[in-house]
Amino acid sequence: MRIALAQINPTVGDITANTTKHLDFIARAKRQGATLVVFPELSLLGYPPKDLLLKSQLVTDSLNALRRIAGEVHGIDVIVGYADRNSQPIGRPLHNAVALLRDGQIHSRHFKTLLPTYDVFDESRYFEPGPINETENLVRVGDVTAGLSVCEDLWNDEKLIARRLYHQNPIADLNAAGAQILINASASPFVLGKHDFRLQLFGEQVRRFNKPLVYVNQVGGNDELIFDGNSHVLDATGNVIAQAKDFEEDLLIVDLDGFSPSPKGDSDLSSPTGATPVGEGRGEGRSAQSAMRHPPSSSPLIHPHATGLESIYKALVLGLQDYVRKCGFKTVVLGLSGGIDSALTAAIAAHALGPDRVTGVAMPSRYSSDHSIEDARLLAANLGTHFHLVPIDALHAAYEKTLYPTFAQVADAISGGTTGKDPTRPDPAADLTDQNLQARMRGATLMAFSNRFNHLLLTTGNKSEIATGYCTLYGDMCGGLAVISDVPKTTVWALSRWINEHFKKELIPWRSIEKVPSAELKPNQTDQDSLPPYETLDAILHRYIEEEKGAAEIVADGFDAATVNRVIKLIDRSEYKRRQAAPGLKVTSRAFGFGRRMPIAQNYVQTVP
């Protein structure tokens, strides 16, 4: 049995391009003698289509595309993900579905059973779950009975069922119904460490039921979400016998040579037959490796997957690359301060798009240090990006001349007397308005570059800043994509060091990595004037945001109560800022954005004495 895992990068809603991609992968799989080709969840529409699913014409167009693909399928079976209409008079109007295409026809349709509604998922808004009778999700492929499932259907064991209040394990139902091999079409977004968890959870499933698994995941960036691919095949003992590339499209051809189902419906793949690499340029014959029990990770069929900092880097590069491409941009612009956040963002952009498509703009003020300009210029030279110097001191002076006399009049009226301060100049040591004005001048300058040259403006704020509101609306928050908004400051430093070590050169100036962080909006300013040390801050943020711990629990972990109370207050009162922020790429288990839905006007107070 030769199976093709079609790990594709669809564009949400681009049915024409997605259809062409399906036909291309089907043709490639057929040339290599595949019996079956499997595509990811909702592969015709791209995941997640969100409220595009409310447009009836979109569903009609996708069903027409499904019929078109079916009409061109001959000599190979194809499993495609799509949205089907619910034929029942009650329930939501659609099903999250996969179709088996065979001999020019839509041979059968199969529906997702478990619909996730946590984190970034909201499938019950659109879809009706499939029937509990899992015999309807069995198909015959050659001499094998395959059990079909869609993404969340596979993400279950008894503990998860209890935690999520699901009442069934569809994989157990497929096994009981007589499935000899499990096939899962998925759209599972990247989160740091998630693929290792997948292998653990899926391995437990296949060992429990003694059935091999074919898992096909989407790859690519769609808005905030990044899909890592890592499609794979597990034998019935939970060993990885094939794994596709991570963070790029791939067509993985796997021979399950020894699959010979017994009359009881059990597969002898529990003693692996071996998966044989069959690919373009590798020939069409079977390999002597087919009897290998445990193929090593160096096998050409098992592509290693990135972990840790490397996986974050690859996710951000792919997420930025696809966001720019799928939104119709070709170039980007960002502010270069000489600091670490803008340096990391620029490095990611240069690697994602090519340095000639990245423009950095340094905008020094009267408070900027000479080394900040030098570091910004050096960064651009190291990366090979475009660089421009646009000082804002003249703009700053014009704002002061225009605004501060009026501000002084208002202050005198409020106080009922004369403040005695120079009406043309603020107090730079105390006036937050003056600091924010400088940030907004820079935001307006960068937006001018964006408008004039059709650049996508990238914001450079990290998760620690965005969490605590240490950012300026309509200033450094201006932009179309927040590349590192889900990367805590401590990880920003670690990732920057990793980039220099990985590429074996100083792409990011070491001084940018090692200097004390400063917004340079007033004399002798540092971030720690306003925030706790980042090591402490990030540890509290992780507990409060990602682990959803309360103040008392965090203090019980050994943190100072006053610091915890202060950080939580900063996070909660900054929700209005985050609601107006650019979309950010998700790399942690709990990111700001549409997966975290906190009210703005609320007064739940958490304090620990």
Shared domain for 36 and 152, answered yes or no, is yes
pLDDT tens digits, one per residue of 170-225: 999 999 999 999 999 999 999 999 999 999 999 999 999 999 999 999 999 999 99
Q: Is the pLDDT of residue 136 over 50?
A: yes
Shared domain for 316 and 300, answered yes or no, is no
Q: How many CA atoms lie within 13 A of 596 on its CB side?
A: 23
Full residue range of the structural domain in which residue 188 is found: 2-305
Q: Is the pLDDT of residue 489 over 90?
A: yes
Shared domain for 262 and 343, answered yes or no, is no
Q: Is residue 319 part of a domain?
A: yes
Shared domain for 18 and 118, answered yes or no, is yes
Residue among 352, 358, 347 nearest 387 (CA): 358
The average pLDDT across 123-134 equals: 85
Distance between alpha carbon 292 and the CA centroid of its chain, in Å?
35
Shared domain for 235 and 322, answered yes or no, is no
Contact status, residue 46 vs residue 294, Cβ threshold 8 Å: no
Least confident of 83-97, 257-271, 530-544: 257-271
* CATH number, residue 80: 3.60.110.10
Q: Is residue 575 part of a domain?
A: no
pLDDT band at 265 (very low <50, low <70, confident <90, very high): very low
Contact status, residue 575 vs residue 599, Cβ threshold 8 Å: yes
Dist CA 154 CA 215 (whole Å): 9
Dist CA 576 CA 572 (whole Å): 9
Average pLDDT of the chain is 88
Distance between alpha carbon 28 and the CA centroid of its chain, in Å?
28
pLDDT at 157: 60
Please state whether beta strands 213-217 and 232-234 pair in parallel, antiparallel, or not at all (unpaired): antiparallel
In angstroms, the Cα distances linking 232 to 190, 283, 603 are 15, 21, 47
Q: Is the pLDDT of residue 483 over 90?
A: yes
Q: Is the pLDDT of residue 535 over 70?
A: yes
Shared domain for 240 and 321, answered yes or no, is no
Q: Is residue 563 part of a domain?
A: no
Which of the residues are catalytic?
A: 41, 112, 151
Shared domain for 153 and 262, answered yes or no, is yes
Shared domain for 327 and 293, answered yes or no, is no
CB atoms within 10 A of CB 85: 14
Shared domain for 300 and 339, answered yes or no, is no
pLDDT at 131: 78
Q: What is the number of domains present in the chain?
A: 2
Shared domain for 203 and 351, answered yes or no, is no
Distance between alpha carbon 365 and the CA centroid of its chain, in Å?
35
Q: Is 558 left (phi over 0), alpha (psi -120 to 50) or beta?
A: left
Name the domain boundary from 274, 305, 336: 305
Name the domain boundary from 305, 335, 369: 305
Shared domain for 107 and 223, answered yes or no, is yes
Least confident of 251-255, 509-513, 593-597: 593-597
pLDDT at 273: 39
* CATH number, residue 351: 3.40.50.620
pLDDT tens digits, one per residue of 417-462: 766 666 656 554 447 888 899 999 999 999 999 999 999 999 999 9
